Amino acid sequence: MISRWLPPIFYIGGREISEACDLAVLSLILQKNNIGKGSIAWVNVTIANNGSYVGAFNVTLSANSIVIETRTNITLSTGETKTLRLYWNCVGT
């Protein structure tokens, strides 16, 4: 069991860009409130591109400064939203 839980943090980044980049995390849904040793849980994150830059970005899920999963080259057009399902694997930790 995780004795101290901090909410996951998402970092959305990518390459250097000169156009207006306005990325947002619209929602974050955890499958479970407590994620203990030996379990796997999913995390749904909905992201949006509110800016004028059309391109690919990276999305990283982390908790307690530990990277859980990174998705690379997530493509979002202007005004587009996308929901990603990431998996938090605590088996063997």
pLDDT tens across the length of the chain (93 residues) = 333 344 444 455 555 545 567 888 999 898 877 777 788 888 999 999 988 878 788 888 888 888 889 999 998 898 999 999 998 888 765
pLDDT in the model for residue 40: 85
Strand intervals (E) in 6-80:
9-13, 23-30, 40-49, 55-63, 66-76
Domain boundaries, given as residue ranges, for the chain: 9-89
Q: Which residues contact 71 (CB under 8 A, 6 or more apart)?
A: 58, 59, 60, 84, 86
- Taking the domain 9-89, which CATH number applies? 2.60.40.10
pLDDT in the model for residue 48: 92
- Rounded-to-integer distance, Cα 42 and Cα 60, Å: 14
pLDDT in the model for residue 7: 46
